[in-house]
Amino acid sequence: MGDRKETRSRFIELRRAMMDDGIRLGLPYSFEKDLHYLSARIDGEGTSFFKVTLPLLGKALDRGLVSGTFSCPTNFSLIKGTRLPTLCNKVFNLIFREDGSLRDEPNLHAIQHLRQFLSFDSKMVLPVSDQSSEEAVTGFADRMRELRRYRIQTDSPVLLEAQRLLTWVLKGLDLSVIKPGHGPGSVSEKLNRFERWEFNTWLTKAERYYPHMSYGVHSLRALVDRSGPPIRWIPKSITRICLVPKDFKGPRLISAECAVNQYLQQGQMKKMMDYFQYHWLLRRSIRLEDQTFNRSIAASSFNNGLATLDLSNASDTLSVPLFWFLFSGVPKLRRLLMCTRSDFARFEQLLIKITSFAPMGSATCFPVETLIFWALAMASVRINRPSSPTFPGCTTSNSSVHQRKYLDWREISSSVAVFGDDIVIPVDCLETLTSTLSSIGCSPNLSKTCWKTPFRESCGGEWFSGTSVTIIRNRKYHYEEKKKIAHYPVLLDLQRKFYAKGYKSTSDLLRKLAEEIWPIYVRSFQEIPVDANLQDIPSDSPFECAYGSCHSYSKNLKTRFNRDYQRLEYRIPVIYQPSLKWGSGSYARLFARLSDDQADRIATRDCKVKVAWRFLPAYMGLASPIEA
């Protein structure tokens, strides 16, 4: 019970600080009433209240902002005669009327602050349980079976327009010559990044287009000198299902491709992304390396008559028949992409036939799904606006008319932006796109599809009437573990973000929680003489924390003078990753160098925190009083 009391105390203390910051903005929080309600719920339900139940109210708030009508979850009590909850009722009243309808001019501070208060812990990374694992894998298998029921309507106007558009824009993309390499993700054989360069297997279906002699070895000498068993040819590619901790809804399902697939897919992906970047039409709507492009368009989408569309499990709903039909105008490109595609997915002893083009984790999944959704969005605009031109590839004798068609397609593409399954499209074309997506097996997420109200959501950002209401989310700090050393950098990172947003009370509390784990090192903003002593510095002087925050200097750090480097070092917690390094020289190492993989040491995926001696540099090149 003592642990629960401490957990409740830390949770309530943090929410109290958030309320204090909200009151500074003029929001009518009720300290004692609301905090007593939260405290009682935690006592009765435990940590599941703020990990699962409270985020449900935050999701209901978001759905109300999207649809224009708030519907309170059943596990929260309502004010009598209204549809608003008793928790934070006065703040809810600034956003919604008593009947749950959205006010004409809701308070933007109330929207941003209430979302922060309710949804701060909604993305907390939770351990993967056996039940959640089983549910995630079963859901994936069900989606693969469900996808077989859909038949592609080859006479659909939107699909036909999308097929013609992809045929035209992809006619210059040649994937027959690529520069492959290995990505940072794991592979199904569970090899580290150095062991992957020893290609003991090769795909039979890839040999025709990417021969082992050209892509699997760097020279004939290496093949002749090869020791060990001969190359094993794989007729069918099997990917391994990995479950990555996500949030209270369950883990995220990621596929770990076999080493050969990953190697070739990385080369295909890099060439596709380069092509998108320089194509005059694609680059106006697709920026795969920079999601801020989509965010900037989504931020102003309400004023420009645009809607934001989100899809559920998008990569699992793009079927092979759909891909085959839309890419029928570029048969060579279609065959090259299919030859590196996985056929089956394995989880423990379960083998699942993949009916989608590629699951999440495949290097070609993201660019291909972006291309398909972009083509469908552009085709939807074309169908809804008959005055739009035909494709620039059509023949015409009038050069001025032909040039005008190019300009018109530029105008259409400026109203469409796609980043994976995040789509921005004109409001008048949204219904056509959603109905088409539903007919081919995709699942538009209507709870996150924004067009009725000024609320917009895309690529992790949220806006209301063009004003950002994006919140800070807690992913790794668990209230149950008070002085866990791994929480130190997490708390300081949250403290820096809240400080930048002007949440002073919350920032101060997070700093206090971090100092309970370890003293905070800070360095001065001011120019201080080289010969200054620590004792001469006022305790209230402004300092910049090593992790980016701004507070006073802590004098409790242990120090030592490193004679080897002639510098003063401090004992602080640091984030590090265990690493591996190449062994002795080999053909595999030479092959990696020729493929531009220059790493001599690689970090493993799991980040850890340890206490170590570190040198802390001076601020802005000026000598700091806490350095030698």
Q: What angle do CA 13, 16, 17 make, to 5 degrees?
A: 90
pLDDT over 60 at 540, yes or no? no
* Rg (the chain; Cα; Å): 28
- Per-residue pLDDT tens over the stretch 368-384: 999 999 999 999 998 88
Q: What does the pLDDT average to over 256-272? A: 95
- Scanning 339-398, the segments in alpha helix (DSSP H) are 365-384
Alpha carbon distance 180, 264 (integer Å): 5
Alpha carbon distance 407, 398 (integer Å): 15
Could you count the other beta carbons within 10 Å of the beta carbon of residue 105? 8
Q: How confident is the model at residue 13 (pLDDT cuts 50, 70, 90)?
A: very high
- Per-residue pLDDT tens over the stretch 506-537: 999 999 998 888 877 654 434 334 343 434 43
Measuring CA to CA, which residue among 277, 334, 299, 270 is closest to residue 596?
Answer: 270
Alpha carbon distance 472, 112 (integer Å): 10
Q: CA distances (Å), 109 to each of 32, 59, 454, in order?
A: 21, 18, 15
pLDDT > 90: percent of the chain = 61
Helical pair 365-384 and 259-278, crossing angle rounded to 10 deg = 40
Which residue did the predictor score with more confidence, 224 or 2?
Answer: 224
* CB 258, CB 188: distance < 8 Å: yes
Across 8-17, 486-495, 508-517, 614-623, least confident range: 614-623
Fill in the amino acid letter for 1: M
Fill in the amino acid letter for 255: S
Q: How confident is the model at residue 625 (pLDDT cuts 50, 70, 90)?
A: very low
Q: What is the 8-class DSSP label of residue 537? A: S
- Per-residue pLDDT tens over the stretch 290-311: 889 999 999 999 999 999 999 9
pLDDT over 90 at 494, yes or no? yes
pTM comes to: 0.87
3-state secondary structure of 609: strand
Alpha carbon distance 296, 301 (integer Å): 9
- Per-residue pLDDT tens over the stretch 429-482: 999 999 999 999 999 998 889 999 999 999 989 999 999 999 999 999 999 887
Could you count the other beta carbons within 10 Å of the beta carbon of residue 556? 9
Alpha carbon distance 27, 19 (integer Å): 8
On the CB side of 51, CA atoms within 13 Å amount to 21
Alpha carbon distance 267, 6 (integer Å): 52
Measuring CA to CA, which residue among 458, 466, 468 is closest to residue 309?
Answer: 458
Alpha carbon distance 381, 426 (integer Å): 8
Alpha carbon distance 564, 295 (integer Å): 49
Q: What does the pLDDT average to over 421-429? A: 94
Q: What is the pLDDT of residue 71?
A: 96
Alpha carbon distance 347, 362 (integer Å): 16
Alpha carbon distance 394, 24 (integer Å): 62
Q: What angle do CA 172, 173, 174 make, to 5 degrees?
A: 110
Alpha carbon distance 476, 175 (integer Å): 41
Alpha carbon distance 297, 98 (integer Å): 33
Q: CA distances (Å), 426 to each of 178, 194, 271, 315, in order?
A: 36, 47, 30, 23
Which residue did the predictor score with more confidence, 581 or 466?
Answer: 466
